[in-house]
Each structure stands twice: as structure tokens, then as C-alpha cells.
């Protein structure tokens, strides 16, 4: 499987757009879908990638959008509460990813380059369900994150022995 394919999972069909879902969520809370929030949702769901709040602020600025840092942080929290985004607590940062419209999956995180790789494994799902059943628990989801060093970073940081240079 190609790296690009392995790094991204295909979206699943959903009945409503993230913007519609977010509007509904805000209406229930008595809040409005303001233009800055609309810009954020469109920007975030325009591509599938893992990002942190500071990256999002830079991306928005580079795209010519004027959205304040505080609006970005508040809206990210709301998008997580609404079930549209998932927050991943990585070793040195908190990253966000699409939750709505994407299949359940797990992650590998390279602590050297910060790369995040998504993967799906049926055995992990079977194990989750078996453990839950054993304890009389009904799972609604799970988070499985493996921290380590990717192959590229391992190769780059492997010291060369003197004989390797000959």
C-alpha cells in the first residue's frame, strides 16, 4: 500500500455537511454560526489532515482569512464538543482531526518528526469488543495511539559506523 494511501482513510458517506451539523449544534446551545466560524469549518473540512491550533491560525492567515486566535481556539473546542473533530493528545502538542464523516481508526505518532499515521485494524476492534463484553461494558469508541519513531527518522538518526563509510 502506498504511503499516501496508508496515511489517509477514505471518508464515509454522511447525510449532512459538517457546516449543517455545526449549525444545528450551535442552535441547540442558543449560539449563532458566525462568519468567522463558518470560515473555520469550511477551511478545516476542505482537506483531511492532522493539525494543531497554531498551524490552523497560520493556514488561515496564509489563505487570507482574518480570524482571531481566540475565535480559533473557542471554535475548535466547540467542534470537538459537537463531535465533528477529535482531539489527539500527542507527546508535545494537541492535534485535531476530522471525527465526523471518517471511520473509526487509530494512530501511530512519530515523536521525532511529529508525523501522524492513521490505520484501521479489525483485530483491535475485536479485542476492544471482547474486553468490553467481559466487563459488561458497551463501547462507544476508543483511542489507541502508538508513540515511536518512523522508519525515515530511524534511518536519519542511525549513527554510521566507520566501516559503513568505506
- Domain span at residue 145 reads 104-166
Q: How many domains does the chain have?
A: 2
Average pLDDT taken over every residue of the chain: 87
pLDDT tens profile 82-118: 999 999 888 878 899 988 888 888 899 999 998 888 8
pLDDT tens profile 10-24: 666 777 899 999 999
Confidence of residue 5 (pLDDT cuts 50, 70, 90): very low
Query: Given the C-alpha cell 507527546, which residue does it identify?
Result: 91
3-state helix, strand, coil in the chain (%, to 5): 45, 15, 40
Q: Which three cell numbers stand for residue 118?
A: 492513521
Residue 3, pLDDT above cutoff 60: no
Regarding whether 147 and 89 lie in a shared domain, the answer is no
Report the C-alpha gap between 104 and 124 in whole angstroms.
11
pLDDT tens profile 36-90: 999 999 999 998 889 999 999 999 999 999 899 999 999 999 999 999 999 988 8
Regarding whether 30 and 12 lie in a shared domain, the answer is yes
Out of 44-48, 131-135, 138-142, 161-165, give the one with best mean pLDDT.
131-135
Supply the pLDDT for residue 6: 41
Last-in-domain residue among 59, 80, 102: 102
Regarding whether 126 and 97 lie in a shared domain, the answer is no
Distances (CA, A) of 110 to 61, 79, 118: 27, 26, 12
Report the C-alpha gap between 117 and 56 in whole angstroms.
19
Report the C-alpha gap between 73 and 102 in whole angstroms.
22
Distances (CA, A) of 150 to 3, 14, 101, 133: 12, 33, 27, 34
Residue 2, pLDDT above cutoff 80: no
Higher-scoring residue by pLDDT: 155, 69: 69
Amino acid at each position: 500500500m502506498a504511503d499516501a494511501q496508508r496515511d489517509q482513510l477514505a471518508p464515509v458517506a454522511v447525510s449532512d455537511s459538517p457546516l449543517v451539523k455545526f449549525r444545528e449544534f450551535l442552535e441547540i446551545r442558543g449560539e449563532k454560526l458566525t462568519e468567522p466560524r463558518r470560515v473555520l469549518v469550511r477551511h478545516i473540512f476542505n482537506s483531511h489532515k492532522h493539525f494543531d491550533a497554531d498551524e490552523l491560525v497560520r493556514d488561515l492567515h496564509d489563505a487570507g482569512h482574518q480570524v482571531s486566535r481566540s475565535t480559533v481556539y473557542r471554535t475548535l473546542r466547540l467542534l470537538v464538543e459537537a463531535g465533528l473533530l477529535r482531539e489527539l493528545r500527542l507527546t508535545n502538542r494537541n492535534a485535531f482531526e476530522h471525527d465526523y464523516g471518517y471511520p473509526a481508526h487509530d494512530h501511530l505518532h512519530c515523536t521525532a518528526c511529529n508525523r501522524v499515521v492513521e490505520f484501521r485494524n479489525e483485530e483491535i476492534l475485536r479485542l476492544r469488543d471482547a474486553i468490553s463484553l467481559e466487563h459488561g461494558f458497551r463501547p462507544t469508541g476508543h483511542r489507541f495511539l502508538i508513540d515511536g519513531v518512523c522508519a525515515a527518522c530511524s534511518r536519519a538518526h542511525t549513527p554510521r559506523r566507520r566501516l559503513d563509510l568505506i
